[in-house]
Structure 1
Amino acid sequence: MTRPTRLPVAVLVLLATAVSAAVLPGAATPAAASQPCRTTVTGEEMPGGADPHPLIGQLGLHQSWDLSTGAGVTVGVVDSGVDATHPDLDGQVARGREFTTVLDEREFETSRPERQRDCEGHGTAVAGLIAARRTAGDRMAGVAPDARVYPVRIADGVDRATAGTLAAAIDDAVAAEVGVINLSFAVPVDHEPIRDAVGRALDRNVVVVAAMGNEGNAGGGEAPMYPAAYDGVLAVAAVDADGTPLDSSNAGPWVDLAAIGEDLVVVSPGGEGYRLEAGTSMAAAQVSGTAALVRSRFPTLTAEEVAERLTGSATPLGGGTDDRTGAGLVDPFGALTHLPGATGNAGDGDGADAGGDGAASAGRIPPQELPRGEPPLSSSAATGLAVSGALLLGVLLVLLAVPGVRRAARRGWRAGTAPEQRAPQEPVPVNAPGPPAASVAWLSGDGGADGHRNRNHPSQLTANPTRNRT
């Protein structure tokens, strides 16, 4: 009788692992390393004397950072990965997850590498525009430089991922308790798994920001792009530095906001360097960073209320809300100072400079440099000055009274009641009329003017510098 062949234990273990992976969709792999890159993207060194990043002036970020820097908020970035080895992203990126497509019923497998790769550079660029640290001279800075990024890498590229993979990636970011999700991808098909995942994110009070895409479908009959076209999602189009919509930026009634999407300096993967990027993905990153600023300053706001602040404070472009730019150019300072229910940063519709300096714009407070020290006459200084003045007045009165008292003493004057002056006695008729009735004048309170001083506003504020909208 032939005895059965015994398989080595190692082979049995491998078979068991393969079977378990086949029946568990999206099962995690034990791999600790990020999927390798076939090609890499590199950047160039920025000159030491480079000017501050243009977005800082264009978006008025210095005024915004006086109010919020995004601290305490995490932004999920579903993209090509984030290379956190760049110095400008040091300490800004959490340990995220990778999704790799597999050719079986699982669709994908996941891993959590210590360090993600970014073969395309797209996700790293987006992450930098959201939360890069402020460098010397502000040569580079994200919109929310104290926010953190939770990266969800689609290792094979978003264009090759299945709808189930993208939906699982969104769910993973929500499970990581992010406050904002940036989805810099657009597809022309309404996939139910993606729609449901976006709905779950909104139900969990997450602000969802999506790029409109760069197919240039303007000119009427625009097809919706997803996930930007889903209800509740902030859909972002791209404009140039003058506020003119980019020809490549998709349009439609789903557009909520616009942001600058041309010639943007971004961080590059590989641990160093910078490069130029463009498109609605980079515009969406600026909106995600702005949402992080608002969530940090107003942590109790709902995702819907955050979105209302962003759209309600935007600077209208081209005459108001339209299918190319939505409510207008995103305004971080305006979003932080927007009055809920107001009409927003209304202007004359002449482009990026609509509304002039913003001082008369409805629904927001004009940007001002906050005072760095105590005003020249603070409340404490005013109190001290008043007390000193009263004491000085008292001393003067005493000095003026001394000569008079001395003269009175020499004349024998003493304090007391004056002698009664008696008039000559005359007979008074019994029926003579008496004195008229006396009247009483009532003085309400202390009779003084209301001296209350509104101490909620400093006595001097520096006028806001003109913003560069060009």
Structure 2
Amino acid sequence: MTDDTTGTPVGRRQFAKLTGAALGLSAFGGVVAAESTERFIVKRRGKKSIGAELLYDLPEIGYAVVRGSEEQLKRDKAVKSFEPDIELQVGDPVAETEPQDSDALDDAFYAYQWDKQDLDVPTAHETTKGEGTRLAIIDSGVDASHPDLDVNVEDSKDFTGDGLGAGVPGGGDHGTHVAGIAAAAIESPAGVAGTAPETDLLDFRVFSEFGGTSGSFGSIVAAVVEAVQKECDVANLSLGAYPIPRQGNGSFYGGVLNKTMNYAEKEGTLVVASAGNDATDLQHDGGLISLPNEAAGVMSVAATGPIGFANELLGGSVNEPAETPARYTNYGTNAVDLAAPGGNFDPTLTDPVGGVPAYAYDLVFSTVTEIESVEDGEVQTAPGYGWKAGTSMAAPNVAGAAALVKSNNPDYNANEVRSALEDAADVPDEYGKEYYGSGYLNVLDAL
């Protein structure tokens, strides 16, 4: 469940086709594709050693991720229960536009960041830029060679085992775009502004297009635990799976996530997740569950965005403001905790403005990248900038804001950071609470 895109190719499932021009709307990791026949999530029985090959030992939450067989696990007295590790499938976007370079946009990149303008992030930076905090991006990989991203590669980790390591966009540029929204540097006038540009940015890659294990539920859980152990104040998950039945296997996976997220919350890591792009009422969806955003302790974020921002760039006014619920966003009174800029679109706005289709300006502009070559494990990338939209883009706006709150209030625990964000938010009068939870993100009042 994450993003629509007009940017570099990133594997994601098709969501919708638009009139006049195609916009790649996606659900990154939003489909349960297969159950692994050799990887399993195991609930431990006490502290006994498990006989199967241990991939991730997670004693903090009472589980482990192992490789073995069902017969082996059924006989193992150290195993209380188990289920197959879910592998998430992603597909190609419907369409995409090329990444934009500085010549095409006259280097005035901040002018295209309606999200940062609406949140008044520059004023927030007069108080803090996120210094003294740590933020983990659990995603498709963050391009550490991008000039706008300062990635702590040493403390980052690749959970796919594809041999490319951390700090590379091995699963596509989705994670690079997400990272830029949360934490892009602000020193360069030709770049984009992140919400928390001085947070310590970590890349925990769980998707791969180069082999290894891509999008496994067990790897994502292990990445959250790793974020806690690396003392991250915030972990961003712009990914997920929907729909999953609440009963049966869904109950098992939900239980694993609840234990994981409760552990993160207790240890001081606020987990922020995208609510999904299915335009679905998660509150009344008939016994289904969306993961991880509906797990206990997770801050679930819905998306908003303007319609007609290109008009404002031309001296006019937008048709709909930035607080407008995005047409694709999931919603639900008890399923959404906050709403934030994630991008919107009107498929009829296809006339070019500055060489770009007008609808693109209503998406979120951030860092992107392409892999040019991989040779002997060395990755060469072509960093750039581009537009994407989705709850994937809304979540890192909140994650960056959480880093600012923590930076300005270093004694706050995860619950206090969350409360500051929720207490500062308000629901716009013209829309229902089901689209906003506590309300629309207000960075300044949260500080």
Structure 2 match to 1:312: 423
User: Quick check: 1:210–1:228 contact (8 Å CA) kept in 2?
Assistant: yes
Q: Aligned pairs, how many?
A: 300
Structure 2 match to 1:300: 411
Structure 2 match to 1:117: 169
CA distance in 2, matches of 1:298, 1:93: 26
Structure number with greater Rg is: 1
Residues 305 and 112 of structure 1: CA distance in aligned 2, closer, same or farther (over 3 Å): farther
Superposition pairs for residues 37-436 of structure 1, below 5 Å?
A: 43-46=99-102, 47-50=105-108, 52=110, 53-90=113-150, 95-100=155-160, 113=165, 115-137=167-189, 139-156=191-208, 161-188=215-242, 189=244, 190=250, 191=253, 192-218=255-281, 221-222=284-285, 223-241=288-306, 242=321, 243-252=323-332, 253-262=334-343, 263-269=363-369, 270-318=381-429, 322-336=433-447
CA distance in 2, matches of 1:138, 1:63: 20
- Deviation digits for residues 69-92 of structure 1 (CA, Å, limit 9, x no counterpart): 001111111111111111001356
Query: Equivalent residue of 2:434, what SS?
Result: coil
How far is the alpha carbon of 1:321 from its aligned partner? 6.5
CA distance in 2, matches of 1:227, 1:315: 24
287-296 or 253-262: which moved more?
253-262
How far is the alpha carbon of 1:39 from its aligned partner? 10
CA distance in 2, matches of 1:165, 1:152: 10
Q: CA RMSD in A?
A: 3.1
In structure 1, runs of 5+ residues without a counterpart are 1-20, 28-37, 101-108, 337-470
CA distance in 2, matches of 1:61, 1:245: 20
Residues 205 and 160 of structure 1: CA distance in aligned 2, closer, same or farther (over 3 Å): same
297-306 or 135-144: which moved more?
135-144
CA distance in 2, matches of 1:26, 1:299: 31
Q: TM-score, normalised by structure 2?
A: 0.61
Residues 94 and 299 of structure 1: CA distance in aligned 2, closer, same or farther (over 3 Å): farther
How far is the alpha carbon of 1:156 from its aligned partner? 3.5
Matched AA of 2:221: A
Residues 247 and 170 of structure 1: CA distance in aligned 2, closer, same or farther (over 3 Å): same
Matched AA of 1:291: A
User: Quick check: 1:94–1:149 contact (8 Å CA) kept in 2?
Assistant: no
CA distance in 2, matches of 1:325, 1:220: 13
Residues 117 and 49 of structure 1: CA distance in aligned 2, closer, same or farther (over 3 Å): closer
Q: TM-score, normalised by structure 1?
A: 0.58
Matched AA of 1:289: G
Structure 1 match to 2:348: none
How far is the alpha carbon of 1:231 from its aligned partner? 2.6
In structure 2, runs of 5+ residues without a counterpart are 1-50, 58-90, 245-249, 307-320, 344-362, 370-380
CA distance in 2, matches of 1:232, 1:219: 17
CA distance in 1, matches of 2:284, 2:303: 19
CA distance in 1, matches of 2:406, 2:292: 22
CA distance in 2, matches of 1:325, 1:290: 16
- Deviation digits for residues 75-132 of structure 1 (CA, Å, limit 9, x no counterpart): 11111111111100135665411122xxxxxxxx587836423342111111111110
How far is the alpha carbon of 1:319 from its aligned partner? 5.3
User: Quick check: 1:321–1:327 contact (8 Å CA) kept in 2?
Assistant: no
Query: Which structure is higher in strand share?
Result: 2
Structure 2 match to 1:25: 55
- Deviation digits for residues 413-452 of structure 1 (CA, Å, limit 9, x no counterpart): xxxxxxxxxxxxxxxxxxxxxxxxxxxxxxxxxxxxxxxx
Query: Equivalent residue of 2:55, what SS?
Result: coil
Query: Equivalent residue of 2:227, what SS?
Result: helix
Query: Equivalent residue of 2:273, what SS?
Result: strand
Query: Equivalent residue of 2:291, what SS?
Result: coil
CA distance in 2, matches of 1:65, 1:112: 35
